[in-house]
Amino acid sequence: MSDPTASPTQPSIPVPEPPAPEPPLPAPSGRHAALSGVVAAAAALATGELVAALLPGAPSPVSAVGAAVIDLAPPGTKEVVVGLLGQWDKPVLQVLVAAVVLGAGALIGLAARRSDVPASVGIGALGIVGALAGLRQADAQSTLVVLSAILQGGVGMQTLLILRAWATPRGEPSASGASATDGVRRRFLARAGVVALASVGGFSIGRAILGARADGAAAVVSGGDGTTPGATGAPGTAHVIPQAVDPAASPSPDDAFALDGISPLVTPNEDFYQIDTALVTPAVNLDTWQLRIHGMVEREVTLTFDELVAMPLVERYVTIACVSNEVGGRLIGNARWTGVRLTDVLELAGVRDGATQIVPRSVDGWTAGFPTAWVTAPERERDALIAVAMNGEPLPARHGFPARLIVPGLYGYVSATKWLSDIELTTLEAFDAYWVPRGWAKEAPILTQSRIDTPREGASVPAGTVAIGGVAWAPDRGISRVEVALDDGPWQDAILAGAIGPQTWVQWKLAADLAVGRHTIRVRATDGTGTVQEDRFTPPDPDGARGHHAIAVNVI
């Protein structure tokens, strides 16, 4: 008989085993993750470029960021960059911008090996930077800028996710740690390569469309009745530049020397130097383009292209130069410009007393600025032009179509505004143009300078009579004398070609007897006022380079 006081037997309750930790999510290798980020960034850049090409008002992301870099660069940067790279400064800048974006893509790819959060944050940050840079562009439409940034971010994110999936090992790892899925690495590299090539192709197509758009905008203009060089007569041409009422006289045979290596008297359009802040050539719609003259004027004036060229056109040979041109540099050219006198346009508006500065603006918002008296003072009359043609052809897109300013005697950064859209009359105290806050001089007359073109620096020439030649310039003052010194010898007068005007450079030459050995050749010029070119060297910053150009040659 059982004991009633005994406790009943309790059933045993099984204790559940703690859940096994989940294995870590598979992840691509570091190299594959970085490559995924680079390719995803490339796809995003290609998307932005295509959007910019197809939707005017959506800026190129690379160009927008590059322009912001130019705008925000500290004083002195322009001199260093142009001195090192010359006319390659903009292509190099855009390559660097793209390289930084691709590098950021690699870091995003590495950070996002197992989580989407770092990818979202990184791609979002790049999109914000691109959008802010795009909104700085004068011709940008904010809605399209935001739309482009969203599309770029979406394409970049999706591309990264797809590439990450392709690069992730599948199956259980073997004892050696190798993936059980054979050929993952090869398949990933092949697929990533296809995406990368497609991105490069898309970027290139976008760039080509942007360039063609600018050239196509300029193609709607013809040069008159067909006798003007460069007249297209193409079907659909809607705007015509009439013949000049005051044409420039053709150079005579005495105005140029037949000397190998010397700069041509007139620089061909395709060889003319190009220095500006526009990373993509603006495509100006001539049907909507207008030139506005306002500020301290009696009446505001707005001219269409056809109204502008209906005014009397004149032709002038004028040499223009970049302030960044080093002694002996090539950032200078001479061309035959056709356009309307700036003073004729100013007279339409009526300049008020006290308007001491003319501020021209480009369609992309760039500004210059120079004293009003430089073009209006009776004792300093000059043929400043609103140019619409260059060397007998409608103004090429990269040289400022549809109109640009040509002001003899002033460096380009204070005067030679390309893609001109606006002229404001104000005071010198009221406004500083684009380059002035960046450390460059507010007033910048072109200095008297000369250059040796032939022989070249370091050239080897045969002993005996050596032909030396080059150009000298002092636009608006002319050149009265060029002298050459051999080694430490005295200055010798060079022979000057005939000048086609005081606003252009002039060719010079000298025949020198040189013995075997190494020789130094120096040159200096005297302008039409009797001022001799300075021998002290200064950098281009802040108002132009000074010094005598000198080369060394080996006589054999």
Query: pLDDT of 145-154, one tens digit each?
Result: 999 999 999 9
**Which carries the bigger pLDDT value, residue 133 or residue 73?**
133
Query: Would you say 167 and 190 are in contact if contact means Cβ atoms under 8 Å apart?
Result: no
Condensed to tens digits (0 to 9), the pLDDT of residues 298-355 reads 999 999 999 999 999 999 999 999 999 999 999 999 999 999 999 999 999 999 999 9
Residue 187 in this model has a pLDDT that exceeds 50: yes
Burial of 424 (0-12, 13-18, 19+ CB in 10 A): buried
Band (pLDDT 50/70/90 cuts) for residue 230 is very low
- Model pTM score: 0.85
Choosing among 3.90.420.10, 3.40.50.2300, 1.10.287.110, 3.40.630.30, the CATH entry for 242-426 is 3.90.420.10
Condensed to tens digits (0 to 9), the pLDDT of residues 408-435 reads 999 999 999 999 999 999 999 999 999 9
Q: What is the mean pLDDT of residues 287-299?
A: 97
- Which phi and psi (to 5°) does residue 338 adopt? -115, 130
**Which carries the bigger pLDDT value, residue 81 or residue 480?**
480
Percent share of the chain, pLDDT over 90? 74
Condensed to tens digits (0 to 9), the pLDDT of residues 218-228 reads 888 887 543 34
The structural domains of the chain, with segments of one domain joined by +, span: 30-169+185-217, 242-426, 449-555
**Which carries the bigger pLDDT value, residue 185 or residue 255?**
255
Which tokens belong to 383? 């043929």
pLDDT on residue 21:
54
Q: How far, in Å, CA of 432 to CA of 359, rounded?
A: 9
Q: How far, in Å, CA of 339 to CA of 242, rounded?
A: 10
Q: What is the mean pLDDT of residues 506-522?
A: 97
Band (pLDDT 50/70/90 cuts) for residue 379 is low
Q: CB count, 10 Å around CB of 128?
A: 12
Residue 551 in this model has a pLDDT that exceeds 50: yes
| Average model confidence (pLDDT) across the chain | 89
Strand pairing report for 239-240 and 221-222? parallel
CA-CA-CA-CA torsion sign (90, 96, 98, 104): negative
Band (pLDDT 50/70/90 cuts) for residue 83 is confident
Q: How far, in Å, CA of 538 to CA of 542, rounded?
A: 9
Residue 358 in this model has a pLDDT that exceeds 70: yes
Look-up of token digits 């932005």 = 48
**Which carries the bigger pLDDT value, residue 476 or residue 264?**
264
pLDDT on residue 87:
76
Q: Which CATH class is domain 449-555?
A: mainly beta
Q: What is the DSSP letter of 192?
A: H
